[in-house]
Structure 1
Amino acid sequence: MASAPPEIFVRARRRARRDRAAARFADHAFLVDAIGDELLDRLDDVTRHFDHALDLGCHDGRLGERLKLRGMRVTSADAGFRFASAAGGVQCDEDRLPFADASFDLVVSAGVLDQVSDIPGALALIRRVLKPDGLFLAGFLGAGSLPVLRDTMMAADMAADRGVGPRLHPQIDVRAAGDLLHRAGFALPVADSRPLAVRYGDPLRLIHDLRGMAATNLLVDGGRAPLTRIGLAAAAARFAEGADLDGRRAETFELMVMTGWAPDPASASRPPPSEPRRIF
């Protein structure tokens, strides 16, 4: 019997942070909205109707509402109780889905799969809950995201003289994303990404946004101590070194998008829903 994959994220911490973020999520939803736009653009390239969609990692249900406007029934699910309740959905982890096989003809996921301990397991379950010839569309933060914050936090930890440790999650690149789709058994797998630049006046505002979208450190071994005054001063100084004349810096969010079809022999010749837009 195969052993369970290691838990790299703390599930209870993730649920608690999603619950904490739920009340004011709308103030920090720009990233999920940008990912949702990407997913709907891909969906609009598909010349068929989808009847029943699963919005996996639904946050406050904003993407699901946009799917309903396209005439779909939507089941919402989120690891956080408050998000799931707000969307009238089910609370569950993405790698522990409670749905029957072949329940949906579309699964969408915006901004959460980079926080799942067992991504291969989650993708395998997503493929199982899709009907044959069902479509999977997911977007999340990929490799290359948050370079300014990484550099700033490194400077803070070094100034505090307590060693540099993990403050940000590991990230998936385009090649790894495509391999994960293939391993999970999806047909016509496509992975691509594009950068989204957002300008900030200080690193604390960036951290505030990450907290507001429930995207802060969940690593099992990432329980770093809060920044000291020395660390905060060093972080502010490192941030200012690269600032423009107006005192602001552009932080990069690399939006990774995964697309795959549940296998169906009758549609083996189906073209991909959109042309890959690879950015390396």
Structure 2
Amino acid sequence: MDMIFDPALVEKNRKRAWRVRDDKALFLLDIAADELADRIAIVERHFDMAVELHGATGVTAQRILQTGKVGAVMRVETDAAFAEGFQEFKVAPIEALPLEPASANLIVSPLTLHLTNDTPGTLIQIRRALKPDGLFLAAIPGSGTLQELRDVLLSTEIELTGGASARVIPFADVRDVGALLQRAGFALPVTDAETYTVRYDSILPLMRDLRAMGMTNPLMDRSRKPLSKRFLMRAAEIYAEKYSDADGRIRATFSMIYVSGWAPHESQQKPLKPGSAKVRLADALKTAEITLPSKDAD
């Protein structure tokens, strides 16, 4: 399997962000935690055992407990430093889940699946760890995220060096994520996306926030050459020229894909077999049926 991301660097970036712990820069994780908790709150059932996968601060685990719909939460992280007072805690890489088959009623994944090299394999592990009719919820940064920064860094590098390298990671499309859920064997998969626009004084505080989020470039084929002051200053100029508002502040786009899927169970709704409908579509729509001429007609 070709490696897109450097797993060691992904872990290093996340641990560095944890040590810095700039709460103001963790707004995306807070948004994801609130949204996942809201979605659990409207599900008409109680989940005895939930698992939070690599949620960094544990805010998602806290929020889902506050819904009253979850009995207990076990957190899984890449390092024990992330434990943050949680007693139910396991250490594991983001692509090797330490979960027994059919051991959890609910699994939530806030903002880490976009960093997996084998996303289908990770989703299969999650589905196997769910009890029948167990629920999986995730928040995944999607296509459109940091589109302005991607364009600016590419334009700057072409202008200054005549070449280009990948400096912003690829993000999946919402339809691709839905297809991956089906491929992993989830029943009743649902995906939707929300877009958030965040404004900054310049490119520099944006890049500081990304570093504090653990979102600095972990690509295997990344450039190892540090960005020079000249590069950053020119990038700031281009960003301001192309993506600033009337007050001079720049825009940064973050697109979040929210997904849900269930471990298969015989009680779940299933699509009707072709030809099994008992009511004609024309009758349901209260309209006249129009018969089209056959291809063989003169």
Q: Same fold judged by TM-score > 0.5?
A: yes
In structure 1, the gaps of 5 or more residues are: 271-280
TM-score (structure 2 length as normaliser): 0.84
Q: Give the whole-Å Cα distance in 1 for the aligned partners of 2:223 and 2:155.
A: 18
Find the partner of 2:35 among 35, 38, 41: 38
Query: Which amino acid letter does the alignment assign opposite residue 28 of structure 1?
Result: A
Q: Give the whole-Å Cα distance in 1 for the aligned partners of 2:125 and 2:147.
A: 32
Query: What is the 5 A alignment of 1:67-216?
Result: 67-69=64-66, 70=68, 71-84=70-83, 87-88=86-87, 89-161=89-161, 163-216=163-216
Q: Give the whole-Å Cα distance in 2 for the aligned partners of 1:81 and 1:19.
A: 10
Q: Give the whole-Å Cα distance in 2 for the aligned partners of 1:208 and 1:222.
A: 19
Runs of 4+, deviation exceeding 4 Å: 84-88
Query: Which amino acid letter does the alignment assign opposite residue 76 of structure 1?
Result: R
Contact 1:59–1:83 under 8 Å retained in 2: yes
Per the TM alignment, residue 156 of structure 1 is displaced from its structure 2 partner at its CA by 2.5
* Deviation per residue, 1:57-87 (Å, 9 max, x gap): 1211111112222242000012344224664
Task: Say if 2:16 is the partner of 1:6.
Answer: no
**1:15 paired residue number:** 11
Bigger Rg, which one: 2
Query: Which amino acid letter does the alignment assign opposite residue 127 of structure 1?
Result: R
Q: Give the whole-Å Cα distance in 2 for the aligned partners of 1:86 and 1:203.
A: 35
Q: Give the whole-Å Cα distance in 2 for the aligned partners of 1:86 and 1:193.
A: 32
**1:276 paired residue number:** none
Query: Which amino acid letter does the alignment assign opposite residue 266 of structure 1?
Result: S
* Aligned sequence identity (%): 40
Q: Give the whole-Å Cα distance in 2 for the aligned partners of 1:169 and 1:248.
A: 24
Contact 1:160–1:230 under 8 Å retained in 2: no
Contact 1:27–1:212 under 8 Å retained in 2: no
TM-score (structure 1 length as normaliser): 0.90
In structure 2, the gaps of 5 or more residues are: 272-298
**2:24 paired residue number:** 27
Deviates more, 1:66-75 or 1:9-18: 66-75
Give secondary structure in 1 for the equivalent of 2:191.
strand
Contact 1:159–1:230 under 8 Å retained in 2: no
Query: Which amino acid letter does the alignment assign opposite residue 216 of structure 1?
Result: T
Per the TM alignment, residue 162 of structure 1 is displaced from its structure 2 partner at its CA by 5.4
Give secondary structure in 2 for the equivalent of 1:123.
helix
Task: Say if 2:58 is the partner of 1:61.
Answer: yes
Query: Which amino acid letter does the alignment assign opposite residue 183 of structure 2?
Result: R
Contact 2:55–2:111 under 8 Å retained in 1: no
Give secondary structure in 1 for the equivalent of 2:198.
strand
Per the TM alignment, residue 109 of structure 1 is displaced from its structure 2 partner at its CA by 0.8
Q: Give the whole-Å Cα distance in 2 for the aligned partners of 1:66 and 1:37.
A: 7
**1:257 paired residue number:** 258
Per the TM alignment, residue 27 of structure 1 is displaced from its structure 2 partner at its CA by 3.0
Alignment length (residue pairs): 266
Q: Which structure's relative contact order is higher, taking Cα pairs within 8 Å and 6+ residues apart?
A: 1
Give secondary structure in 1 for the equivalent of 2:267.
helix
Query: Which amino acid letter does the alignment assign opposite residue 139 of structure 1?
Result: A
Q: Give the whole-Å Cα distance in 1 for the aligned partners of 2:240 and 2:267.
A: 58
Contact 1:167–1:222 under 8 Å retained in 2: yes
